């Protein structure tokens, strides 16, 4: 499966949903992120619905698209995957929202975990791109302070993913990217920010 109509339609749908959004600091079109996630997971699955869900994984969380819209256009399986990947924005407290999301991953299937792991990998790559090419002030101004909290949260996510699916083929990569991220923060003297 290379480029089915369903995948093409999902890319179009995601591109329109994210059309006014940019990746933080670097400013390139946000839709590049789900495309990279699709690229990463395409090495490990050819399940069309999982590939489509990877393209749509942020549309409900970051736009006015609903889960019902996803189901109507792409089916129940895609909807269910996107649902688990979507943070509940009705929970105002960010820390509580992140904890609830983490709990959902403890019971998630391998399709969800594959997409989430690829999502984390690409986010680390982009954050490190910012750290390597922009000022500390731009990084802190965009991503906020309390770096230790960010490291703890990322570490917990990776631990939950590993405990839930030990044979996840992306675990070595996500762990390497996590260590690279921590080492770069230390090199830039940002661990105490």
So which residues are the catalytic ones? 61-62
Name the residue with higher pLDDT: 90 or 57.
57
Predicted local confidence at residue 37, as pLDDT: 98
* Residue percentage of the chain with pLDDT more than 90: 81
- The string of DSSP codes covering the chain is --S-HHHHHHHHHHHHHTTT-B-TTT--BTTHHHHHHHHHHTTT---HHHHHHHHHTTHHHHSS--HHHHHHHH-HHHHHHHHHHS--TT--SHHHHHHHHHHHHHT--HHHHHHHHHHHHHHHHHHHHHHHHS-HHHHHHHH-S-HHHHHHHHHHHHHHHHHH-TT-TTHHHHHHHHHHHHHHHHHTT-TT-
User: For residue 164, what pLDDT band results from cuts at 50, 70 and 90?
Assistant: very high
* Average pLDDT score over residue span 46-71: 97
Predicted structure pTM score: 0.96
Residue range 118-140, pLDDT digits in tens: 999 999 999 999 999 988 888 88
Q: Residue 1 pLDDT > 80, yes or no? A: no
- Of the ranges 52-66, 90-104, 179-193, which is most confident? 52-66
Mean per-residue pLDDT over the chain, rounded:
94
């Amino acid at each position: 499966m290379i480029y089915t109509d369903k995948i093409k339609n999902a890319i179009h749908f995601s591109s329109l949903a994210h059309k006014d959004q940019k990746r933080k600091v670097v400013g390139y079109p946000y839709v590049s992120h789900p495309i990279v996630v699709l690229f990463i997971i395409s090495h490990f699955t050819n399940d069309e619905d999982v590939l489509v869900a990877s393209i749509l994984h942020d549309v409900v969380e970051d736009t006015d698209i609903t889960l019902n819209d996803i189901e109507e256009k792409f089916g129940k399986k895609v909807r269910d995957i996107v649902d688990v990947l979507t943070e509940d924005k009705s929970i105002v407290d960010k820390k509580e929202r992140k904890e609830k999301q983490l709990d959902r991953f403890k019971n998630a299937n391998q399709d969800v975990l594959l997409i989430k792991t690829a999502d984390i990998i690409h986010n680390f790559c982009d954050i490190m791109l910012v750290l390597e090419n922009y000022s500390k002030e731009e990084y802190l101004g965009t991503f906020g302070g309390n770096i230790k909290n960010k490291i703890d949260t990322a570490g917990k996510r990776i631990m939950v993913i590993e405990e839930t699916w030990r044979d996840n083929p992306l675990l070595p990569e996500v762990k390497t990217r996590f260590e690279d991220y921590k080492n770069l923060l230390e090199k830039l003297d940002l661990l105490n920010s």
